[in-house]
Homo-oligomer: A and B are copies of this chain.
Amino acid sequence: MPAEAKVSAKVNKPAKVDARATAPGSPPLTERQEARRRRILHASAQLASRGGFDAVQMREVAESSQVALGTLYRYFPSKIHLLVATMQDQLEHMHGTLRKKPPQGERAAERVAETLMRAFRALQREPHLADAMVRALTFADRSVSPEVDQVSRQTTAIILDAMGLEHPTPEQLSAVRVIEHTWHSALITWLSGRASIAQVKIDIETVCRLIDLTAPDAHE
């Protein structure tokens, strides 16, 4: 198992491609490029679904997606970037799916817990994929911050959706952040076999109680 040979890596690149999907900032991709990008993400998710983080090998991703290794690296400057992008992609699906059937609970805490448990059940269907994405997310270093942040924003949006809030207070945002922390860390302990599914459920329900604390007598 080779190691993280970055040290002096992932700097000075001519004109990266990545970083679109949600931020068409740089040059808009041509159709073929968009197609390549999609093939890559698909191959990544597929390999991840098989064997998790370790099974996503850059050479294999390149081959599966019919792209040269160098090109793969032009689109995603590292394996971590690739997997985080894969997560962004999956999260979008998820958010779309969740939107359709909003949770029924009466209190916000219940709705958030139910939403997260739904997401959790979805992840359980592809535990290897979950492994790859979550491990990449928590292992990411500063060079991936923008992408990780994007994932975080998307997650926040999902939770706020479930809470039914438009203009959260700073207090409520803190609670949401703590919920996200718990969500990620609980997933990790489940993925590494140190906590059962039931345990994760309890932890999620426990942390969601914080929501009740942040707007008990408030209106909305």
Binding site for B on A (CB under 8 A): 1-7, 9, 51, 53-54, 57-58, 78-79, 135, 138-142, 144-145, 148-149, 152, 171, 174-175, 177-178, 180-182, 184-186, 188-189, 192-194, 199, 202-203, 206-207, 209-210, 213
Contact = CB atoms under 8 A, between A and B. Distances in A.
A177 B194 contact: no
A177 B203 contact: yes
A5 B2 contact: yes
The A contact surface, by secondary structure, is: helix
Nearest to A56: B3
A203 B181 contact: yes
A210 to B, nearest CB: 6
A6 to B, nearest CB: 4
A174 to B, nearest CB: 4
- Taken together, the copies of this chain in the complex come to 2
A145 B53 CA distance: 17
A65 to B, nearest CB: 18
Given A152-B194, A182-B182, A3 B1 contact: yes
A114 B185 CA distance: 22
A192 B78 CA distance: 16
A56 to B, nearest CB: 9
A149 to B, nearest CB: 6
A12 B160 CA distance: 48
Given A209-B210, A209-B213, A78 B1 contact: yes
Contact of A4 (B2, B138, B182, B213): B2
Contact of A182 (B1, B53, B142, B181): B181
